[in-house]
Amino acid sequence: MTTPRPARSSTDTTGEPAGDIAGEPAGDIAGEPAGDIAGEPDGAAAGGVGAGGDCPHVPEIPFPGSFRFDPDPVWGRLREQQPITRVRTIAGSVVWLVTRYDDVRTVLTDPRFSRAGTVAPGAPRVAVSSPLPGTLPTTDPPEHTRLRGLVSGVFSRRRIEQRRDWIAGLAGELVDRMVAAGAPGDLRAALALPLPIQVICELLGVPYDDRDRFRAWTELAYSLVPAEAQRVRAAMAALTDYLAELVADNPGVGDDILTELAGDDALGTDELVAFGMNLLVAGHETTANQIASFVATLLREPAHWDRLVAEPELVETAVEELLRHTRLSEVGQLRVATTDVPLAGVTVRAGDGVMAAIAAANRDPRAFDRPDEVVLDREPGRHLAFGIGPHFCLGAHLARVELQEALRALTARCPRLRLAVPAEQLRWRHVLVSGVEALPVTW
Ligand code: HEM
């Protein structure tokens, strides 16, 4: 049986955002949807979620029940009944979606699933904008290995641990300021956003006073609403110009990353600018949303919060558990197959896009006991929140330290912290990196 190739759709107009989360700022906005898929399920292709071919009913991702506290139940159904399926992105590309732990691991670690392929001409896309070529998230070894080697030392556990006290101090000051301003407060604005922004500015050598400018550009870079393509393009151009100016004006005397990289003759100016954009955006948007989501999750069932207050030594396992439990995005990580590959019972064809759904894998009962429960002292170690394989999150240890110190500062200073509104009333942002719009709290 031959499965017909799915028709290319016109750019979606639902206004539902999507994307992937590696934090790559977009390079340009291709006006056309790109990429389709020629894979051939080894079973019946028609009917149900994920039926592909010319069938116009390939479900769109993000799924309709996205942007809420709990995952759309479709994730669990897919994981059990259709572990590989087809979905249509908001850019109109039809790609495979895998939801089981082992399959997600395979896609993220097997070199036949390429990151560089996601920026090749005609590649499938998950977003309005295209990722920036030539950066960590869009290269494969050996080029990726070279680029990663330039920055891995700066983000190593040892170098980040040297900053822990400083990060803890910043977190404490931000919580003190929130408390001094009086309850209720918005924890997203008071702590979750400013902490990682201050940290990445210091590490990179980007002036913190410029935060309002690059925040606005970052929001747009991740907005991914097709109707906003023009504004997204302008924001990305502004962000590129901004980083190019910083690089050009760099006096070359600081101990920040941009200065360090500028001293490396192997790196061209464009590469340096791309690096800067990648690190600035990935370096704060993810952690900021996760700090707020973690606190929201703990306060939704206040017994979790009270336990963490009573047993502060649980902070490290609690952070790992919340990384596992709290999804960062409503879509998966994209790769493109470089050759035909058997995967979860289908043959993925060379050129097909494959999305690895980390959030679904992290709730797979095959990998985790009682996966939907938050267990603050769960034995950590197996979750995929930071990915796995060559593209494992560069900033993982930095993110861990920020998350741990944010929770330590809050539990120590605000032991009676509570949500100021019912959890169900929290509004979730319809963007690439999920999170709450605001987190009103009392203490
Ligand atoms: C809670 C916070 C964070 C989460 C959950 C997270 C998650 C991830 C994931 C899942 C990937 C792998 C993507 C893939 O394989 O396709 C990734 C890659 C990456 N992350 Fe993070 N991240 C976080 C914070 C950070 C921070 C603070 C930085 C700061 C530098 C950062 C920089 C990067 C970079 C540069 C990559 C690409 C690495 C590569 O391709 O070699 N991330 N992140």
The answer on pLDDT for 28 being more than 70 is: no
User: 361 CB under 6 A from ligand 1?
Assistant: no
Q: How many CA atoms lie within 13 A of 409 on its CB side?
A: 28
Mean pLDDT along residues 275-293: 93
Give the residue whose CA is nearest to atom 25 of ligand 1.
Answer: 395
Pairing of strands 353-356, 94-98: parallel
- For 230-283, give the secondary structure using H, E and C: HHHHHHHHHHHHHHHHHHHHCCCCCCCHHHHHHCCCCCCHHHHHHHHHHHHHHH
Looking at residue 206, what is its pLDDT? 93
Q: From the alpha carbon of 328, which atom of ligand 1 is closest? A: 5
Contact 114, 140 (CB under 8 A): yes
Q: pLDDT for 63-81, tens place per residue?
A: 999 999 999 999 999 999 9
**Which residue from 257, 313, 267, 227 is spatially nearest to 17, judged by alpha carbons?**
227
What domains sit in the chain, N to C, each tagged with a CATH number? 40-442 (1.10.630.10)
Q: pLDDT for 219-240, tens place per residue?
A: 887 766 878 888 888 888 899 9
Looking at residue 56, what is its pLDDT? 65
The answer on pLDDT for 54 being more than 70 is: no
The residues that bridge with 442 in the sheet, in sequence order, are 418
Give the residue whose CA is nearest to atom 39 of ligand 1.
Answer: 391
- Choose one of 393, 394, 397, 405 to mutate for the ligand 1 pocket test, by most ligand atoms within 8 angstroms of C-beta: 393
Looking at residue 131, what is its pLDDT? 83
Looking at residue 59, what is its pLDDT? 94
User: 386 CB under 6 A from ligand 1?
Assistant: yes
Rounded to the nearest angstrom, the gap between the alpha carbon of residue 90 and the centroid of all alpha carbons in its chain is: 17
CA-derived radius of gyration, the chain: 21
Q: pLDDT for 151-178, tens place per residue?
A: 899 899 999 999 999 999 999 999 999 9
Least reliable range by pLDDT among 16-20, 200-204, 248-252: 16-20
The enclosing H or E element of 204 equals helix 194-204
Looking at residue 228, what is its pLDDT? 82
